[in-house]
A and B are shown apart, each in its own frame.
Chain A
Amino acid sequence: MAETAVKEKEPLIGFGKTERRLLTDPLNDNNPITVQVLGICSALAVTSLVYPAVVMAIAVTLVTAFSNLFTSMLRQYIPKSVRMIVQLVIIATLVTIVELILKYFNYPIYKQLSVYIGLIITNCIVMGRLEAFAMANKPWRSFLDGIGNGLGYGAILIIVAIIREIFGKGSLFAGSPIELKIIGPTADYLINTTQSALFGWYTNNNLMVLPAAAMFIIGILIWIQRSYNSKLVDVS
């Protein structure tokens, strides 16, 4: 498992079997959301549209990767008694950097994500990975572990967002330069429900816009994943 400190001699920067596992494990077997139950907090509220979800996924991946890297570099110098505060300061700094950068490059998306950018700090994935991995491993592997977990988290976020946006709004990537209008009641949609004989009955599902929809979708994703991957089934 990725949790245990790697004993074999590890190169400063290398890319072997262990490194690959660090990246791919979190996508399925050790997914931060569906298996480790971390980081659900801050981010599900941004899954009603795909574009903010993608930005959020990138932001979380960067923060996890770099906070893992820095913590791992400092791990021998951090005093035990203030460990938590030091980790939080590192994370909060990275999140502030992300916020400043977003304000600079993409103000509308900054507005849309609002307080949820700040909440990356308490996203349990970041803290969880620092404790479970970065405090016991060398920088390069910690960095990869951060990227892997960020991506595993982002994957779930984007899957949920795609389902919610298509059925809730009838579009994809709304608000971004590559907005796709799929199904709706005006002529600029791919399927125009007022004209189409086949889809005349269709309206957007308002449930998908509500927060509860994200819960149902994740519940069902977990169901599907565990049906295929029986070693993850909860025995209790």
Chain B
Amino acid sequence: MEFINVFIKTAFIENLVLSYFLGMCSYLAVSKSVKTAFGLGMAVIFVLGITMPINWLINEYLLSEKGLFGIDLTFLRFILFIATIAAMVQLVEMVVEKFSPALYAALGIFLPLITVNCAILGGSLFMISRELSLSNSVAFGLGGGFGWFLAIIAIAAIREKIRYSNVPPALRGLGMAFILTGLMGIAFMSLMGIDPAAFASK
């Protein structure tokens, strides 16, 4: 059950935001209310879960030496990955708009933001540097997205509450958000005690 293992690891222990700073821009910009944070979080899970296996296939069958062209094209990786991500985001946007207007109303405005969310490209690049298999890359995508979702929901909820607290004026807003993220990062470190292998063996 390596799938569960990778999922738990990326969602809780190696959280994309809290330990790798991925997707910080939208994380800080869209975390003023829980409702919008929820929408963006869902969109990230969705897009990460789709783009990682696609990029895996591109890397394996187009770019690597074993691939279609038989030569090492990995130096074109950045361009192809980001183009795939941009194209997928646009595709998802069109499909969602056509088939589920309600979901589109909730997710729509966030989708363009996601192309430049570092967590998406970061996921694909980590997948390559860690030499994940196809199924593990799906687990990494879903787990990473879920971890990101958790982090943004948590910070949004805290930021909603902290508005009523007496924070020094200069620290209000952004400054406090950074410090909170740091504290959350330390809190998440306590999850390092989880042994993912224990889940896998059950």
Contact = CB atoms under 8 A, between A and B. Distances in A.
B28 A121 contact: no
B78 A234 contact: no
B182 A212 contact: yes
A84 B120 CA distance: 16
B77 to A, nearest CB: 8
Interface residues of A, number: 50
A55 interface: no
Interface of B: 18-25, 28-29, 32, 75-79, 81-83, 86-87, 112, 115-122, 125-126, 128-129, 163, 168-179, 181-183, 185-186, 189
Interface in A69-100: 84-85, 88-89, 91-93, 95-96, 99-100
A225 B171 CA distance: 10
Contacts of B169: 226, 233
A212 B86 CA distance: 30
B83 A89 contact: yes
A227 B125 CA distance: 39
B144 to A, nearest CB: 13
13 contacts: A37-B29, A40-B28, A42-B22, A45-B20, A118-B77, A119-B121, A210-B185, A212-B181, A213-B182, A216-B182, A219-B177, A220-B175, A226-B175
A100 B75 contact: yes
A222 B171 contact: yes
Given A123-B118, A216-B179, A234-B174, A211 B21 contact: yes
B37 to A, nearest CB: 15
A34 interface: yes
